[in-house]
Amino acid sequence: MLQYVTLEIDGADIVVPRGLSVLDAAIEHGICIPHLCHVRYLSDIGSCRLCIVEHVVNGRSKITTSCTLRVQEDMVIQSNTERIRKLRRNLAELLVAHAPNSRAIQDIAVRCGVKEVRYPFRNENCVLCGRCVRVCSECAGANAIGFVGRGKNRRVDSPFGSLSEFCVECHTCIELCPMSIQPCIGYMEPGEERLCGACESQLDLADELPGHCVWCELGENFQCGRY
Amino acid sequence: MLPLRLDSILEGRRSQPHQLIEVLQDVQEQEGYISEEAMRAISNELGVPPMEVYRVASFYKAFSMQPRGKNVITMCMGTACHVRGAKLLLSQATGLLGVNSGETTDDGLFSIEQVNCLGTCALGPVVTENGACHHHMNPSKLRKLIKSIRRAGMEETSDE
Amino acid sequence: MSRDFTIKIKTVSELEAFRKRILNDLKKARVVLTLCGGTGCQASRSEAVSTAVKDELIKQGMDENVHVRVTGCHGFCEQGPLCVIEPGNTLYCNVLPDDAREIVTKTVRDGEVVERLLYTDPVSGKTIQTESEIPFYRAQDRQLLAQNRQVDPCSIEDYIAIGGYSALAKTLFEMAPKAVIREIEASCLRGRGGGGFPTGLKWAKCREAPSDEKYVICNADEGDPGAYMDRCVLEGNPHLVLEGMMIGAWAIGAREGIIYVRNEYPLAVKHTRIAVQQARDLGLLGEDILGSSWSFDVEISRGGGAFVCGESTALMASLEGKVGEPRPKDVHTVVDGLWHKPTTLNNVETWANVPSIILNGSARFASKGSNGSKGTKIFALTGHIKSTGLVEVAMGTPISKVLFDIGGGPANGIPIKAVQTGGPSGGCLPADKFYLPLDFDALAEAGSMMGSGGMVVMDEGTCMVDVAKYFLTFLQDESCGKCVPCRLGIDRMLEIITDITEGRGKSQQISLLEELGHTISQTALCGLGKTAANPVLSTLRYFRDEYEAHISKEECPAGVCEALITYEIDPEKCTYCGVCKLACPYEAIMGAKEEVHTIDLQLCQKCGICRSECKFEAVQIN
């Protein structure tokens, strides 16, 4: 039998099954917590850090990722404070500066309120969210790709660097890849990168209702767990 | 190429995935590097997916997937060595040998490696040559060291 | 090296009898000659010295009643190889194999002192005969390190002779696990690995966690550059660490322990292996220890070379044979640790403090130190300082005392600008903060950290922006790369700092650096990521003017940053000796014999080798 717990997210009391992550609980109740590496049916690794929230314990708040935090009775979570919004914006800025050629990443930047990018753009084609890696091992059971190297040399690769004999060609990795969706303004050549900003109507939403899920078009693009 | 002698390393560790790092350590020590062949064998014997073996081998500094040179010159780049001029030594070695750190000279005689601290900070800057430690190094001592190794290497080849 | 013990120690009284026998044997030696064989002295060829001394003793027929003991690190590595002779407690420094004969003839046989081998005080210029009179040692409080001189790390007998394993015996037969935890809590011992978490609390939580299987782990993956106290303790006195782990294991209810040791420390690996084997042979590890019906054993695991494995969850992943990536710690490792079992992880120095707390009581331990930080702490004093080495002082000792009374002040007569504490997680403190006490809280408040105890001294010739860049390069190399703030954030900080050191910096980048630093410290996944911005943030806090000089004047005040300087040979000072020409790896120095040398600025890579090689100070920085 399912057991339920009651917790507070952004002032609202919500009741969800035990064992759920705070992120899933929030999304289920229409509370928008931006996220990238999280996919509902895959394990959570807490690597993109976008879904950070403040977990208030005994009056002291601790910042942690909501995807890796399990719901507990009487838990108090704040997902949309000034502090969180600023940190999330800075993280989204790092991501979009690194890999601007993705509608998913561009939309995350919009949703997180990024208005300018203070770093030189790079035109990388991977943000190491690890969606492909996890789906390959957890769903396809193939272990055909994985993270290799460490630090700035970390990359997704197949065993021994050659196209994997283990690949079952299910293509789920490509389906889940945020980099596989081109920005609305089309592919940007090196030197042309910018914040897309094509969806200005969505920009207002992000400003006015940052913590509420309004079924924005953005969510569909950044493969938000609600869609 | 010599056939891999992994049996003694794998003894008592077969089908124990958690022994992966220990096994790789021993292979690195014995063979000087970790070949694809070795990784495939280890994957089979320990019951770890090849992806995981490759991943672990690429993650840790101790493992090299290419053969290293006959002489490995390791420069300690720890903080204490850094403030006492480790950068000079690295420039001297890379300049003199014409390869970057992590690379091997064309004649296979030297590899330059960097390590982030050897724990002999009081004696810095420190350079090791095939594990033997040279302390209070300076560029001219390093030049002499490299030259003497090179000379020894040449004598060896001319003897053959 | 491991020897076959025919006897097993099965009870406490057998342990005492064994101890008595060893002490009697030791009394037979008329002279005890202690040679340091730590990694530092070994690098100075101490092995050749010990062979020479032993040969000489045999030659002179004195090997019977002279006991030669090769020990772990004494801490004064700069002066190594070190040799101490008792009676008389005479200390010889920088001993060479050729000195063996004179030492044996004069000191061992005739009881005379070999003046030329004594330590010369750099301040007074006078020679000093004994360790305790040398300022470097005199101002220390060597609770842990002093034992290194008394034991051969490869001899469990030596350790037992100085009272080893009696704390274990006391634990097993006189104290309930809860009493052990209470004692540790009362001592206020805090983790020596960096975080300073109260050890007793950690043990208590781990004991409460429900599980049949629990683990204790000793973290000897000392990855902090500039710190080597754990190496020294484990390599010099492995049984002390082992005994501490056994007491901890008994307190929390673990039956298995693991020592995770850096493979870059071959001697520590070797000595630990020998120690574990000897303890097993004697029956101090294994089933039914000392007849208590309690069983415990220890395994040794070699690290693969990753700084991030110093983080507890990464270390545990590594022990499970995986890559050392930290995982979120929403549930602490004392509940969900190695193999998802409750696990107590402490570092070498923390474990090493345990036996004496149990044996001598928490009150004695807590009588040393400052308010929030009790006991003594070992620091690795390195960099631009006269006496480098390991320094053990009571917590709360002012930084200045360590730098000037123990370290003897700056090495090259150039004033000290800063001291870096806490390694890549710590920060740089300026000279006007040297009054601060060395304790967890005071250092954290000042924007640095105790860390594992590295203290790298930097003089005025050091560029603080370059130091920040150094740490970022280190962290970029050592970050596991899993989370965005640490991977991309450090990368961007390094990009900005590189711009600054190469004269492309803009003033608004300073505030961006600060904002980014705070973002990383609040959002990174693991403890190491959270502290990764400290070297930048602390240098920005105390040495902002240096950053500003790089940006607005395109000038490196210390003359370090390559892009902002040029080298030039002063024709007045050049003696045409040709040393610089020979040394330059880029063939950028021109000039025939008997001709003033010049530097070709096109070819010059600004490595600075010519300047360091020139004995006439003719190479200058512009």
How close does chain B come to C16, measured CA to CA in Å? 37
Residues C171 and C320 grouped into a single domain: yes
Q: Please indicate, yes or no, if residue C145 is contained in any of the structural domains.
A: no
Residues C299 and C173 grouped into a single domain: yes
pLDDT per position as a tens digit, C294-349: 999 999 999 888 999 999 999 999 999 999 999 988 889 999 999 999 999 999 99
The dihedrals phi and psi of C546, each to the nearest 5 degrees, come to -70, -40
Residues C515 and C593 grouped into a single domain: no
pLDDT per position as a tens digit, B46-67: 999 999 999 999 999 889 998 9
**C44, C146, C60: which is closest to C100 by C-alpha?**
C60
pLDDT of residue C613: 86
Of A81 and A206, the structure prediction assigns the larger pLDDT to A81
pLDDT exceeds cutoff 60 at C4: no
**B118, B108, B113: which is closest to B90 by C-alpha?**
B113
Q: Please indicate, yes or no, if residue C7 is contained in any of the structural domains.
A: no
Interchain contact, A152 vs C479, CB within 8 Å:
yes
Of B159 and C124, the structure prediction assigns the larger pLDDT to C124
Distance CA C285, CA C275 (A): 10
Beta-carbon pairs below 8 A across chains A and C: 87
Q: Work out how many domains chain C is built from and give that number.
A: 5
Q: What CATH number does the domain containing C594 carry?
A: 3.30.70.20
Interchain contact, C77 vs B123, CB within 8 Å:
yes
Distance CA C133, CA C178 (A): 43
- Encode burial over C1-16: b for 16+ CB neighbours within 10 A, e otherwise: eeeeeeeebeebebbe
How close does chain B come to A151, measured CA to CA in Å? 9
Residues C295 and C313 grouped into a single domain: yes
Distance CA B10, CA B23 (A): 7
Q: Please indicate, yes or no, if residue C165 is contained in any of the structural domains.
A: yes
**Averaged confidence pLDDT in chain A:** 89
Q: What CATH number does the domain containing C443 carry?
A: 3.10.20.600
**C214, C221, C220, C286: which is closest to C252 by C-alpha?**
C214
Distance CA C74, CA C142 (A): 10
Of B25 and C63, the structure prediction assigns the larger pLDDT to B25
The H or E element containing residue C31 is strand C31-36
Residues C265 and C218 grouped into a single domain: yes
How large is the C-alpha radius of gyration of chain C? 26
DSSP letter string over A102-155? -HHHHHHHHHTT-----S-----S-----HHHHHHHHTS-----EEES-GGG-E
Kindly give the pairing relationship between strand C297-303 and strand C256-262: parallel
pLDDT exceeds cutoff 50 at C2: no
Rounded mean pLDDT of C192-209?
Answer: 93
pLDDT per position as a tens digit, C9-24: 999 999 999 999 999 9
Rounded mean pLDDT of A29-46?
Answer: 91
Rounded mean pLDDT of C225-242?
Answer: 94
DSSP letter string over A9-51? ETTEEEEEETT-BHHHHHHHTTB----SS--TTS-----S-TT
Residues C301 and C413 grouped into a single domain: no
pLDDT of residue C323: 94
What's C437's DSSP letter?
Answer: B
pLDDT per position as a tens digit, C399-434: 999 999 999 999 888 999 999 999 898 999 999 999
pLDDT of residue C304: 87
Distance CA C381, CA C140 (A): 12
Q: Tokens 């959270």 map to which residue?
A: C530
Of C401 and A162, the structure prediction assigns the larger pLDDT to C401
Flag whether residue C341 sits within 8 Å of chain B, measured between CB atoms.
no
pLDDT of residue A203: 67
Q: What CATH number does the domain containing C544 carry?
A: 1.20.1440.230
Contact C433, C407 (CB under 8 A): no
pLDDT per position as a tens digit, A186-219: 899 999 999 887 666 666 766 777 777 666 766 7
Q: What CATH number does the domain containing C47 carry?
A: 3.40.30.10
Residues C198 and C268 grouped into a single domain: yes
pLDDT of residue B157: 63
Q: Which stretch of A149-158, A163-172, C43-52 has the lowest confidence by average pLDDT?
A: A163-172
pLDDT per position as a tens digit, B75-125: 999 988 988 889 889 988 998 899 998 899 999 999 999 988 888 888 889
Distance CA C381, CA B123 (A): 11
Residues C214 and C357 grouped into a single domain: yes
pLDDT exceeds cutoff 50 at A167: yes
**C170, C160, C183: which is closest to C365 by C-alpha?**
C183
Interchain contact, A158 vs B51, CB within 8 Å:
yes
Interchain contact, C485 vs A95, CB within 8 Å:
no
pLDDT of residue C254: 97
How close does chain A come to C484, measured CA to CA in Å? 5
pLDDT of residue B153: 77
In three-state secondary structure terms, A62 is strand
Chain A: residue nearest B50 by CA?
A: A159
Give chain A's domains with CATH numbers: 4-83 (3.10.20.740)
pLDDT per position as a tens digit, C421-479: 998 989 999 999 999 999 999 999 999 999 889 999 999 999 999 999 999 999 999 99
Flag whether residue C256 sits within 8 Å of chain B, measured between CB atoms.
no
Distance CA C78, CA C574 (A): 33
pLDDT exceeds cutoff 60 at C172: yes
Q: Which residues of B touch C470 (CB under 8 A)?
A: 79, 82
pLDDT of residue A202: 67
pLDDT per position as a tens digit, C79-91: 889 999 988 889 9
Rounded mean pLDDT of C171-191?
Answer: 96
pLDDT per position as a tens digit, C521-531: 999 999 999 99
Flag whether residue C468 sits within 8 Å of chain B, measured between CB atoms.
no
Residues C305 and C450 grouped into a single domain: no
The H or E element containing residue A6 is strand A4-9
Distance CA C93, CA C100 (A): 12
Q: Please indicate, yes or no, if residue C226 is contained in any of the structural domains.
A: yes
Q: Among C71-80, C116-125, C268-277, which range has the highest average pLDDT?
A: C268-277
Kindly give the pairing relationship between strand B71-76 and strand B110-115: parallel
Q: Which residues of B touch C43 (CB under 8 A)?
A: 120, 123, 126, 133-135
Distance CA B100, CA B88 (A): 14
Flag whether residue C456 sits within 8 Å of chain B, measured between CB atoms.
yes
pLDDT of residue B11: 87
**Averaged confidence pLDDT in chain B:** 89
Q: Tokens 């040297």 map to which residue?
A: C434
Last residue of a domain, one of C346, C366, C386: C366
Residues C400 and C468 grouped into a single domain: no
**Averaged confidence pLDDT in chain C:** 93
pLDDT exceeds cutoff 50 at B1: no
Contact A137, A146 (CB under 8 A): yes
**CA C150 from chain center: how many Å?**
20
How close does chain B come to C608, measured CA to CA in Å? 7
Last residue of a domain, one of C133, C168, C192: C133
pLDDT of residue B158: 62
Q: Please indicate, yes or no, if residue C9 is contained in any of the structural domains.
A: no
Q: In chain A, positions 81-100, which contact chain C (CB-CB < 8 Å)?
A: 83, 87, 90-91, 94-95, 97-98
Instruction: Say if pTM beats, i.e. exceeds, 0.90.
Output: yes
Interchain contact, A94 vs C323, CB within 8 Å:
no
Last residue of a domain, one of C439, C459, C479: C459
Interchain contact, A160 vs B58, CB within 8 Å:
no
The encoded tokens of residue C615 equal: 């004995």
Percentage of chain A beyond pLDDT 90 is: 64
Terminal-to-terminal C-alpha distance of chain A: 27
Q: What CATH number does the domain containing C183 carry?
A: 3.40.50.11540
- For C533, the domain range is 464-552
pLDDT exceeds cutoff 90 at A147: yes
Residues C473 and C452 grouped into a single domain: no
How close does chain A come to B155, measured CA to CA in Å? 38
In three-state secondary structure terms, B141 is helix
Chain A: residue nearest B51 by CA?
A: A159
Interchain contact, C228 vs B63, CB within 8 Å:
no
Percentage of chain C beyond pLDDT 90 is: 78
> What type of residue sits at position C375?
G
Distance CA C94, CA C52 (A): 14
Residues C309 and C162 grouped into a single domain: yes
Contact C42, B123 (CB under 8 A): no
Q: Please indicate, yes or no, if residue C560 is contained in any of the structural domains.
A: no
pLDDT of residue C217: 97
Contact A225, A48 (CB under 8 A): no
Contacts of C among chains (3+ CB pairs under 8 A): A, B
Q: Please indicate, yes or no, if residue C162 is contained in any of the structural domains.
A: yes
Chain B: residue nearest C462 by CA?
A: B83
CA angle C594/C598/C601 to nearest 5° reads: 165
Q: Please indicate, yes or no, if residue C13 is contained in any of the structural domains.
A: no
How close does chain A come to C303, measured CA to CA in Å? 16
